[in-house]
A and B are shown apart, each in its own frame.
Chain A
Amino acid sequence: MTMTIEAADKTFEAYDPVLRDTETLEVNLGPQHPSTHGVFRMNVKLEGETVLSLKPVMGYLHRNHEQIAENMSYLGSMPYTDRLDYFNSMSNNFAYALAVEKLAAIEVPERARYIRVIMAELTRLVNHVSVIGFLLNDLGAFFTPVLYAFREREKILDIFEEVAGSRMMCNYFRFGGVKRDFPAGVLDRIRKIVGVFPKFLEEFEGLLTQNEILCLRCQRVGVLPYDLAVSASITGPMARASGVNYDIRKIDGYSIYNRFKFRVPLGTVGDVYDRYMIRVLEMHESLKILEQALKEIPEGPVLNPKFSALAKAPRNFKPPKGEAYGRVEAPKGELGFYLVSDGTPQPWRYHVRAPSFINLTVLEDLCIGHKVADAVIILGSIDIVLGEVDH
């Protein structure tokens, strides 16, 4: 029997009261669930498969990062910042170094600034490819896209290993510069990666952007309106997908970002698909910044000579009394460190503004009314790392 759409709608309406009569079910998604990207729990109330309410429960990885840092020398917590967002240790280092440099008014040599920007942008590439890979994982394309993404990620991690000595826990930045200069040949290898990366993006996008399943599952799912994004302090690609024109690289122009030409991609709808698309476009912009930085990078020292002895005696470093807030545009959003110094070798207060923690504020608003399977990809598109959420 064929049925017009209106007729089908009417039949559906007739059944609607019966559909509503289902029992509410309370389900705990996580903490041990592959879709939660770590130990994170979503306390979900369901009617059928529709989400009625969702309460995020976190803290399983809480280790009181802030208190540990308050009992250590300033330099001592630099390696510990790596463990916040373990995908992007370089940008964590960057934010912490900026905050301390602001507190103690430390100058950074020119070459070190370029090295910092190159490392931060490489980190952004690493983060965004992996996030997109994992998002596809959540959609059910089990691990093939992740492996495509990880193939490229490995190349960049090799660079990190050669430069910093470690693939993920880089601990590369120092107050007043970076730990050591690039070894010979690394710049050429970065140039090569930057040259090849667009080809990979083309391949990746060719498989995904127009993909029918991806479009169906992601478009108009988890829409974050502009006003809510602003009022809920959402930052990073998630805010820009909702059209919030806020990129700290542009606004603060910290380090030397004001010298580079790049655009800030903005979304119009604010759904999961926009968040995916913004990340792809941001990778293109990161490549532009990298190209410019690699062209202009000067020779010279990489560490402010006044602070090169600091590594051997970190407890001699006593910033003047005061407070400072240093923030960067980390791949996940605004990452900042708020430091209060009392003139001793330890910070009196050390506070992390973790972007993925604050971006979780709107998780419930995004998920209500969607199916459970959509809640999983909405969480994936927010892009959380539990090391940072729970700090």
Chain B
Amino acid sequence: MEERFPGIQVQIVNQGLVLKPGDLIRVAEFLKESEEFKLNYLSLITGVDYLEHLESVYHLYSIDLRTGPVVLKVRVPRDNARIPSLVSVFRGAEFQEREAYDMMGIVYEGHPDLRRIFMWEGFEGFPLRKDYIPEDDDVLEWEDVEWLERHNVKVPEDLKEHARRLKEAGKEARAQKPTEKEV
């Protein structure tokens, strides 16, 4: 490997080859074209959040030789996650890279159409990162608070306050709604 690619840095972790982002495309192209490997089928791309870095995992198989998988991994820092896109080598990367971008926030440079695929446009945050907090994680309704207190569960004051505000907002909205007679 090192003979073929001067200056490459490869590390083997869990039967996967860990590459630098800059080396990804030439390694993938070589594995696809060479007679020896013929890894012409990109099975899946997974984004993984390991807290200290993000990782993009590629599983390659060979359809002609019936071998595989060869696992390539690329590690990038969380705050600057940029990896060259593999769409030019494998068309099958198109949707999978969009998925990894949508869920993990890994930017695939050179992707022809890198948009969110599952979440809507304008959604903020990346749901599969470990530090993502779902919007409705700490929402309790007033009925829930009452139920919990009946069962002797201590509800934190800020959650209680939030529930009370929700309840009052609901009351107000109902008061403002015109009655049938007025309509």
Binding site for B on A (CB under 8 A): 58-59, 62, 64, 66-67, 70, 228, 230-234, 244-246, 251, 322-323, 325, 327, 334, 336, 338, 340, 348-349, 351, 353, 357-358, 360-362, 390
Contacts and interface: CB of A to CB of B under 8 A. Distances in A.
30 contacts: A58-B117, A59-B118, A62-B118, A64-B127, A64-B128, A66-B128, A70-B128, A228-B91, A230-B63, A231-B40, A231-B90, A231-B91, A233-B41, A233-B91, A233-B93, A234-B92, A323-B14, A325-B44, A325-B59, A325-B69, A334-B43, A338-B44, A338-B46, A338-B59, A349-B46, A349-B49, A351-B44, A351-B46, A353-B44, A357-B99
A33 B76 CA distance: 41
A5 B93 CA distance: 45
Interface string B66-81: 1001000000000000
A90 to B, nearest CB: 22
A70 B129 CA distance: 11
Contact of B127 (A58, A67, A338): A67
B90 A233 contact: yes
Contacts of B92: 231-234, 358, 361
Contacts of B48: 340, 348-349, 351
Contacts of A348: 48
A61 to B, nearest CB: 9
Contact of A358 (B49, B59, B96, B118): B96
B94 interface: yes
B128 A353 contact: no
B14 A59 contact: no
Interface in B1-23: 14
Interface in B108-152: 116-120, 127-128
In this complex, the interface size class of chain B, counting residues with CB under 8 Å from chain A, is: 20 to 34
Given A246-B63, A251-B66, A322 B14 contact: yes
Given A232-B91, A358-B96, A59 B44 contact: no
B8 to A, nearest CB: 23
B148 to A, nearest CB: 21
B42 A233 contact: yes
Contacts of A67: 127-128
Contact of B117 (A59, A233, A322, A323): A59
A336 B59 CA distance: 11
B63 A245 contact: yes
A334 B66 CA distance: 14
B43 A336 contact: yes
A361 B95 contact: yes
B43 to A, nearest CB: 7
Contacts of A58: 117-118
A350 B66 CA distance: 26
B57 interface: yes
Contacts of B117: 58-59
Contact of A59 (B94, B119, B128): B119
A42 to B, nearest CB: 14
Nearest to A55: B113
8 smallest CB-CB distances across A and B, nearest first, come from A233-B92, A59-B118, A232-B91, A62-B118, A353-B44, A351-B46, A232-B92, A231-B91
Given A59-B120, A62-B119, A245-B63, A360 B95 contact: yes
B149 to A, nearest CB: 26
B63 A244 contact: yes
A389 to B, nearest CB: 9
Nearest to A323: B14
Given A66-B103, A360-B95, A233 B43 contact: yes
A390 B43 contact: no
A139 B42 CA distance: 33
B59, B90, B117, most chain A CB atoms within 10 A:
B117
Contact of A230 (B14, B41, B59): B41
B40, B69, B93, B118, most chain A CB atoms within 10 A:
B118
Contacts of B93: 233
Contact of B43 (A62, A64, A353, A357): A353
A229 B99 CA distance: 20
Contacts of A62: 118-119
A338 B14 CA distance: 13
A128 B117 CA distance: 28
Contacts of B103: 66
Nearest to B92: A233
Nearest to A336: B44
Nearest to A324: B14
Nearest to A349: B48
B133 to A, nearest CB: 12
B95 A390 contact: no
Contacts of A234: 92
